Structure 1
């Protein structure tokens, strides 16, 4: 079935980082205004002239394809765990939390998740802090670990570059978020969407309609279509894929932190392209211990604080096991992010 109406070219704001990187006066304020429009009217924006090499992006897509081409036994040797790390097999999760239009059948994808690379003797690892575990890597894929970590490092750098624009969009000093993103939490998800048959049920999704959990999701453009977005007016639209740009959206963490001033726009994936589809979304959040109270500029007499202050582990723990049934309950898993 078609995923939605073709979007008009000007419906998703575009943030061009070139003036900011050149130090052009007023560039930050201009980008802040564009981002504010993005998150109050659409929920997504494109960012271009990021400085991220296309070859690095392609290497990450190639790494995802290589990982999922392995025998199932090799992938299952890296089982998904309570830290939201590891491999989830095909139809290994069901979108429940943040679901749109009801719970659908299990998602027709397989995925592997990686977080920040920590050494075995890191204090958080030794203390058993949740979501601060060790990544596990395939043993027979030369260069895979390096490609994944290089891409994660580039996305973290891009995310950090974008954070001051969020501050400008919210009427805050450019450095307002700095102490909250000293060491951002992040997840790199490498997803494989096999071809779905034309005769598949209408409610079978590669990834069912949902909103992300993240502060920021950065998605490299995919040459194989399948992603669609739901605008605030209720229309589902096919996501365009301008060359060289990244698509960025916010999730429920951003929405909660901004006291509902910013949107967490639902999206979904189906793969009826006749090709194998891979995606490499990068989900970035604040530091593990940062306290997120409703942002002051988002609190008014008509919009008092909707939530008490919270931290990353408290927020993610709230969603534990929601989307993975028995597998998630056994692992206390939270891997809610997708794209």
Structure 2
């Protein structure tokens, strides 16, 4: 575990005393203010449920390619659901500016392929982002489990949002929940296939380049492989390992929450790269990294939510830094280079 990333034990929430809740809220908020990342243990998502979620994820990605392609990610960036094969998505921190050639920027970024595949799931009730489900006979029970798991994760996310509201000293514990019905969240199953370590270290291919998340918070469940790195709060521009901690999740602040808090809370760059056990090793020809599985749960405001700075986070010495923004408009702006406008051909990355 990285000593730079704090650990918060949430076992006293919500049944603890008001003093316990304030203490936990302060610990969580301070971690989000100083680092932008925090390990949360005893968070309310049962261990057996997490184990089952990872088992379903492995069953999904073990399917033949033609079966997974029965629920493909739709072309373009506007609907972010279904199966994304290696080479389709390109994660970056680049933000498109008006007047720039979008195709040229997309071509330049895609010279380094992201070596991963994913499956995106959302609420069944959000018409702007319709789910792309596999036929039931391909993976019986998958849809039912993931739909239930999506809402179970949101139950825990609501506790995180309540704690942050207390930590920021908002007038109402449920303030953030006014903007978060749960309909606009995203459950993401991620698989990083084995790849030659030298391809990652030479930047011939990438796993997940350095980026920040767009929404309010992200809760990340990861397996034991490792490879997640976080921008070092003590030395910006260098990265520290977010070593997996069994049955914990890693929570981080998204860009919208940073805007909301007028930069009081920190949205931190992070990436997935060579697993630590491979670093510095003189691997022989043909050596491959282990596969990596993770499950991030992205918590976002509802599409028409208007995000503007919190008065508690601004004063004469720290005036408001950001104009108000509508979540749906902000998401579309950030997604423009993540997925190509037309269907891309799967890329061989191993």
TM-score range, shorter chain: 0.7 to 0.9
CA distance in 2, matches of 1:171, 1:25: 14
Which residue number in structure 2 is paired with residue 337 of structure 1? none
What are the residue-to-residue correspondences of 1:237-256 with 2, within 5 Å? 237-256=240-259
**Contact kept in structure 1, 2:87 and 2:116, CA below 8 Å:** yes
**Contact kept in structure 2, 1:205 and 1:268, CA below 8 Å:** no
Runs of 4+ in 1 over 6 A off after TM superposition: none
Structure 1 residues 107 and 187: CA distance shift in structure 2, 3 A: same
Aligned pair 1:85/2:81, yes or no? Answer: yes
Which residue number in structure 1 is paired with residue 225 of structure 2? 224
**Contact kept in structure 1, 2:191 and 2:291, CA below 8 Å:** yes
Which residue number in structure 2 is paired with residue 301 of structure 1? 316
3-state SS of the aligned residue for 2:93?
coil
Aligned pair 1:315/2:330, yes or no? Answer: yes
CA distance in 2, matches of 1:188, 1:110: 14
**Contact kept in structure 1, 2:72 and 2:82, CA below 8 Å:** yes
Which residue number in structure 1 is paired with residue 174 of structure 2? 175
Question: In the TM superposition, what whole-angstrom CA distance separates every residue of 1:299-319 from its partner, at most 9, and x where no partner exists?
Answer: 222332222222221111112
Give, in angstroms, the shift of residue 289 of structure 1.
2.5
CA distance in 2, matches of 1:88, 1:135: 11
Aligned pair 1:136/2:133, yes or no? Answer: yes
Aligned pair 1:165/2:163, yes or no? Answer: yes
> Any gaps of 5 or more consecutive residues in structure 2?
96-107, 279-288, 344-350
Q: TM-score, normalised by structure 1?
A: 0.84
CA distance in 2, matches of 1:46, 1:75: 32
CA distance in 2, matches of 1:285, 1:18: 25
Aligned pair 1:107/2:114, yes or no? Answer: yes
Give, in angstroms, the shift of residue 260 of structure 1.
1.5
Which residue number in structure 2 is paired with residue 121 of structure 1? none
Structure 1 residues 18 and 292: CA distance shift in structure 2, 3 A: same
Structure 1 residues 271 and 63: CA distance shift in structure 2, 3 A: farther
Question: In the TM superposition, what whole-angstrom CA distance separates every residue of 1:191-231 from its partner, at most 9, and x where no partner exists?
Answer: 11011202215223211111111211101132111111112
CA distance in 1, matches of 2:142, 2:151: 14
Which residue number in structure 1 is paired with residue 211 of structure 2? 210
Structure 1 residues 199 and 14: CA distance shift in structure 2, 3 A: closer
Aligned pair 1:258/2:261, yes or no? Answer: yes
CA distance in 2, matches of 1:183, 1:194: 30
Give, in angstroms, the shift of residue 263 of structure 1.
0.9
Give, in angstroms, the shift of residue 138 of structure 1.
4.0
CA distance in 1, matches of 2:121, 2:181: 19
> Any gaps of 5 or more consecutive residues in structure 1?
1-5, 119-123, 332-339
**Contact kept in structure 2, 1:231 and 1:265, CA below 8 Å:** no
Which residue number in structure 1 is paired with residue 284 of structure 2? none
Q: TM-score, normalised by structure 2?
A: 0.82
